[in-house]
Amino acid sequence: MPELIRNSPWSGANHKWVRSSHGVHESPTGTPDASTFTEATHYPKGYLPEGTPVDASDLAKLKPYVAPAPGVPAVNLGFLLSPSRVVGGAATPVAVLRHGTVGVSDLAALNITFEAPAFAPGFIFED
């Protein structure tokens, strides 16, 4: 696995939650729709942190991820690979992880609440 940067949000993302490099280099660019995220919940420090789970069904307007009904696969799941600064109601474009191995406990360590779905095509979830 390549060396992944693990420090402050603006000098590089903390990719500890990415458990393999699979999917990192193939990540498309997406733009969060800041109007669908809540400032106090999602970006109290002025940015959406890396590791934020998103609904990536429309890469031009990423929205907060909402778990599907039980038994329904999470086909539109993605994770921000870097912080996305939110200024004046607009968020900066970022790479979106669409497949790979994700450490759920590492997301929790970043204060990101996420419960792994039973099935998300392309993803493997570890504790």
Percent of the chain with pLDDT over 70: 90
What mean pLDDT comes out for the span 44-64? 97
Give the per-residue pLDDT at 13. 60
Q: Enter the pTM of the model.
A: 0.89
Question: Looking at per-residue confidence, does 6 or 86 come out higher?
Answer: 86
CB 101 within 8 A of CB 126: yes
CB 28 within 8 A of CB 96: yes
The one-character DSSP state at 77 is E
Dist CA 124 CA 61 (whole Å): 25
Is the per-residue pLDDT at 5 higher than 50?
no
Dist CA 121 CA 74 (whole Å): 7
Is the per-residue pLDDT at 2 higher than 60?
no
Q: Measure the CA angle with vertex 79, ends 75 and 83; round to 5°.
A: 155
pLDDT one-digit tens code per residue, 60-99: 999 999 999 999 999 999 999 999 999 999 999 999 999 9
